[in-house]
Each structure stands twice: as C-alpha cells, then as structure tokens.
C-alpha cells in the first residue's frame, strides 16, 4: 500500500516542480519478475522511475543514497529494500516471490551483485535510462538482456556487465 502512496506522492512532487515525465519502451518489459538497472544522475531520476515505471518493483541501492533528499522515505515501506548491493539472499528472496527489483548503479559503476543475481535467477535484466531536457524527463526502457548459464562463471558475468554498461551509456 505504501508503495502506491509513494508513487502518487512522487508524481505530485514532480508536478509541483513542473517536471513532465515521458516513458519510452514499455513494450520491452517482459512478463513476470525482472531485474531493472538504472544509473541515476540526480535524485529526480530515481523519483521519476518510482512514479512512472509500470508495476511494483523494490529498490536496491547503497545505503549512501539515503542522504539524497526524498530517497530516505523509501525505507518507510518494508516492501522496499535498502541494502548494500552485496545482500544477495534478500534480493533473490524478492525475486523468488515473483517481484521485480531495481538496482541503482553506484556513480555509474555496475557492481558484481547485479550480474551474479541475474545469472543465479536466470531473469532478464532491463536497463532503464533517464534523459533530461529542461523540465522534461524521459524514461527509456531498454530491451531485456539475458545472462549466460553458469552463475559461477566469471566470463558470463563479465559479458553481462559489458552489455549492461553499453545499454546504459
């Protein structure tokens, strides 16, 4: 319930600041749980994602992000996770419950946990880019990327990481 209140309130905040949000590529979201990854440059990037990304997804980000204004309220909802990227068991638990998650990169760096979890769960990873032009924020949902077959294979993790970096660039 709190998730939908957060979506509503975030839309109100964006409206009050006269920011218009557009979504491109919604058809790229596969059915079922997915792993989203986004590289937010500003707090409003994450806010736009929270407000306008279809469905419900749990946020996975470094605790350092809690100092960003308006992100701290996410911790009020026990459905949202505020964890370090390496808390793989909690994240896999959400995915096993058929719930999607959103990873935020750490200043553009994709941490190994994203690729490891994608390989372990065999779920698609969907890159989310945010483009800003003045007061218009465009959320671009990329095509889903699939991981290789072996969670312990360093080569598959590196290949997925390279594909994700290219998709987010």
139 in Cβ contact with 23 (< 8 Å)? yes
pTM of the model: 0.78
Q: Which residue segment(s) compose the domain that 16 sits in?
A: 2-168
Estimate the share of the chain in helix, then strand, then coil, as percent rounded to the nearest 5.
45, 20, 35
Distance between CA atoms of residues 4 and 145, nearest Å:
28
Taking the CA atoms of residue 132, residue 57, residue 60 and residue 134 in that order, the dihedral angle to the nearest 10 degrees is: 10
- Residue 88 CB neighbour total at 10 angstroms: 15
For 57, the 3-state DSSP assignment is strand
User: How far apart, in Å, do the first and last CA atoms of the chain sit?
Assistant: 34
**pLDDT at site 138:** 92
For residue 11, the model assigns a pLDDT of: 86
Let me know if 98 is exposed, middle or buried by CB neighbors in 10 A (0-12, 13-18, 19+). exposed
How many domains does the structure of the chain reveal? 1
What does the pLDDT read at residue 77? 47
**Helices of type H across 58-105:** 88-96
Q: Encode the chain (169 residues) as per-residue pLDDT tens digits.
A: 556 777 888 888 889 989 899 999 999 999 888 889 888 777 778 778 878 888 777 777 655 545 445 545 554 444 444 444 456 666 777 677 777 888 887 766 776 677 778 888 888 999 999 888 988 999 999 999 887 655 457 777 788 888 888 888 8
């Amino acid at each position: 319930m709190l998730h939908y209140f957060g979506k509503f309130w975030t839309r109100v905040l964006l409206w009050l600041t006269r920011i218009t949000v557009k979504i491109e590529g919604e058809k790229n979201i596969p059915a079922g749980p997915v792993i989203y990854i986004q590289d937010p440059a500003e707090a409003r990037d994450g806010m736009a994602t929270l407000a306008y990304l279809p469905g419900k997804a749990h946020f996975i980000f470094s605790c350092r992000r809690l100092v960003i204004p308006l992100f701290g309220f996410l911790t009020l909802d026990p459905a949202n996770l505020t964890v370090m990227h390496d808390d793989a068991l909690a994240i896999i638990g959400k995915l096993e419950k058929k719930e999607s998650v959103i990873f935020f990169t750490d200043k553009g760096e994709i941490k190994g946990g994203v690729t490891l979890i994608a390989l372990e769960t065999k779920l698609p990873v969907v890159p989310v880019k945010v483009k800003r032009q003045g007061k218009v924020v465009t959320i671009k949902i990329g095509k889903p990327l699939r991981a290789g077959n072996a969670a312990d294979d360093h080569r598959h993790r590196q290949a997925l990481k390279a594909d994700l970096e290219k998709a987010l660039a």
